[in-house]
């Protein structure tokens, strides 16, 4: 867990280096309007199915990775002193004070109704979550019983305040425009589900177009070349890499986050990444 949080802090620090969207990436489908969702979003009027879907969405969208599996929150400084003062809130206590609309604005835009600045929440990718997945997530959050102590407000420690003053520690809201209209490549309709998973999950750390974040997470189109499809499925289900190699944070994500994808979502994701890799190799020839 320690490495997880340390690296997440790194992710935020590197976010500033992300290039603004360019013409090419805008040609891709506008994900915000697409009907692509995680499987199970066809819950219709079935409230129980909607809540169950929302619970799974809270796992695959990393909420439980930061806010703990019970969503009762934690002090990030416990894991890494450089994050002293940052609290991943007790979501079970926070939700009753927020309307559905305020929750959606917080998640998609990084804007909180009563706090000036929100850090670390990946609104940059949540802005691209489908409406059906978002509605289910919020319905699920509403079912949580307030549990545990309310968490203190976040206050940046001197080190982070200094980084922020130097323009190196953006708020969640400041990261949103870096990803708006800046999507992973779109090789066509048949890859839509795999691309959606990559867009709302992998892109958080591997960059808006999945070609890596300098010094943090590698270019996925290159990385998949070192895996067979079966090995990639295995890694994204258990966190285990071929030969038992140590893959740091990705091992935690595989075991605790992508393990909650459906088999079809995982298979489509692997097919999508394979296609990206093939297209890149073909373009280089
Ligand atoms: C990378 C870590 C991370 C992830 C992933 C994450 N959060 Fe957060 N979240 C935080 C932190 C840190 C704060 C407090 C931010 C601050 O005060 O600057 C926060 C704040 C919140 C709040 C506001 C709480 C309050 O006190 O008003 C809610 C609600 C929330 N998160 C829900 C979620 C949900 C739902 C998800 C998944 C869709 C999620 N978060 C994903 C780190 C994360
Ligand atoms: C919270 C951040 C985060 C998320 C989300 C994430 N990754 Fe990663 N990933 C990393 C980091 C960091 C590394 C580099 C780990 C290392 O080598 O220490 C990595 C490495 C990898 C590797 C290479 C592992 C190796 O063999 O060296 C693959 C493949 C990978 N990620 C795939 C994915 C896919 C697919 C997704 C989306 C389902 C994803 N990642 C989501 C952070 C993340």
Give me the mean pLDDT over the 94-106 stretch: 98
- List b or e across 162-200, with b for residues whose CB sees 16 or more CB atoms inside 10 angstroms: ebeeeeebbbbbbbbebbeebbbbbbeeebbbbbbbbbb
What pLDDT score was predicted for residue 76? 87
Whether residue 9 contacts residue 170, with contact meaning beta carbons closer than 8 Å, is answered with no
Q: Three-state SS for 262?
A: coil
- Ligand 2 probe mutation, 121, 205, 234, most atoms within 8 A of CB: 205
pLDDT at residue 34, rounded to an integer: 55
Check residue 78 and give its pLDDT.
83
> For residue 19, is pLDDT > 60?
no
pTM of the model: 0.92
Listing DSSP states for 156-178 in one string gives: --HHHHHHHHTT-S--HHHHHHH
Indicate whether residue 218 lines ligand 2 (CB < 6 A): yes
Mean pLDDT computed over every residue of the chain: 90
The set of long-range contacts for 62-70, using a CB threshold of 8 Å and a minimum separation of 24, is 62/122, 62/201, 62/204, 62/257, 63/91, 63/137, 64/256, 65/4, 65/252, 65/253, 65/256, 65/257, 66/8, 66/120, 66/121, 67/91, 70/147, 70/148
CA distance 157 to 153: 12
Look at residue 20 and tell me whether its pLDDT is greater than 50.
no
Question: Taking the CB of residue 278, how many other CB atoms lie within 10 A of it?
Answer: 14
Look at residue 2 and tell me whether its pLDDT is greater than 70. Answer: no
Question: Which residue's C-alpha comes closest to atom 7 of ligand 1?
Answer: 121
- What residue numbers bound the domain in which 275 lies? 2-284
Query: Domains in the chain: how many in total?
Result: 1
Q: Residue 29 above 80 pLDDT?
A: no
The answer to whether residue 32 scores a pLDDT higher than 90 is no
| Helix (DSSP H) and strand (DSSP E) numbers for the chain | 16, 2
In this structure, the residue with its CA closest to atom 33 of ligand 1 is 63
- Ligand 2, atom 17, lies closest to the CA of 247
Pocket test for ligand 1, best of 6, 66, 213 (most atoms within 8 A of CB): 66
For residue 109, the CA-to-ligand 2 centroid distance in Å is: 24
> 248-277 burial by CB neighbour count: b if 16+ within 10 A, else e?
ebbbbbbebbbebbeeebbbbbbbbbbbbb
Residue 187 pLDDT greater than 70, yes or no: yes
Shortest CA distance to 75 belongs to which of 93, 88, 62? 88
Full DSSP string of 61-125: TTHHHHH-TTS--EEGGGT-GGGTT-EE--HHHHGGGS-HHHHHHHHHH---SS-S---S--HHH
pLDDT single digits (tens) 60-81:
999 999 999 999 999 988 877 8
Ligand 2 in reach of 253 Cβ (< 6 A): yes
pLDDT > 70? residue 208: yes
Question: Highest mean pLDDT: which of 1-10, 17-26, 76-85, 91-100?
Answer: 91-100
Looking at residue 211, the DSSP 8-state letter turns out to be S
Nearest CA to ligand 2 atom 36: 202
Q: Kindly list the protein residues whose Cβ atom lies closer than 6 A to any atom of ligand 1.
A: 8, 58, 61-63, 65-67, 86-89, 91, 94-95, 106-107, 112, 115, 118-122, 126, 141, 154
pLDDT digits (tens, 9 = 90+) for 107-152: 999 999 999 999 999 999 999 999 999 999 999 999 999 999 999 9
């Amino acid at each position: 867990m320690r490495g997880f949080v340390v690296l997440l802090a790194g992710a935020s620090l590197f976010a500033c280096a992300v290039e603004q969207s360019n013409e090419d990436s805008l040609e891709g489908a506008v994900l915000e309007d697409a009907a692509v969702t995680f499987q199970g979003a066809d819950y219709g009027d079935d409230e129980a199915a909607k809540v169950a879907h929302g619970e799974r969405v809270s796992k695959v969208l990393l909420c439980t990775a930061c806010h703990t599996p019970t969503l009762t929150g934690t002090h990030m400084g416990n894991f890494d002193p450089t994050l002293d003062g940052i609290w991943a809130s007790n979501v079970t206590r926070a939700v009753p004070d927020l309307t559905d609309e305020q929750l959606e604005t917080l998640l998609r835009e990084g804007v909180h109704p009563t706090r000036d600045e929100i850090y670390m929440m990946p609104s940059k990718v949540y802005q691209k979550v489908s409406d059906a997945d978002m509605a289910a997530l919020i319905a699920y959050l509403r079912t949580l019983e307030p549990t545990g102590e309310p968490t203190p407000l976040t206050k940046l420690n001197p080190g982070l305040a200094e980084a922020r003053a130097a323009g190196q520690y953006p708020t969640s809201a400041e990261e949103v425009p870096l990803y708006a209209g800046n999507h992973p490549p779109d090789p066509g309709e048949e890859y839509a589900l795999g691309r959606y998973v990559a867009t709302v999950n992998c892109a958080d750390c591997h960059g808006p177009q999945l070609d890596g974040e300098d010094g943090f997470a590698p270019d996925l189109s290159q990385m998949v070349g070192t895996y067979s499809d079966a090995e990639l499925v295995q890694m994204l289900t258990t966190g285990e890499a071929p030969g038992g190699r140590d893959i740091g944070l990705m091992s935690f994500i595989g075991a605790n986050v992508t393990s909650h994808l459906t088999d079809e979502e995982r298979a489509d994701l692997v097919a999508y990444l394979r296609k990206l890799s093939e297209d890149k190799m073909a373009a280089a020839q």
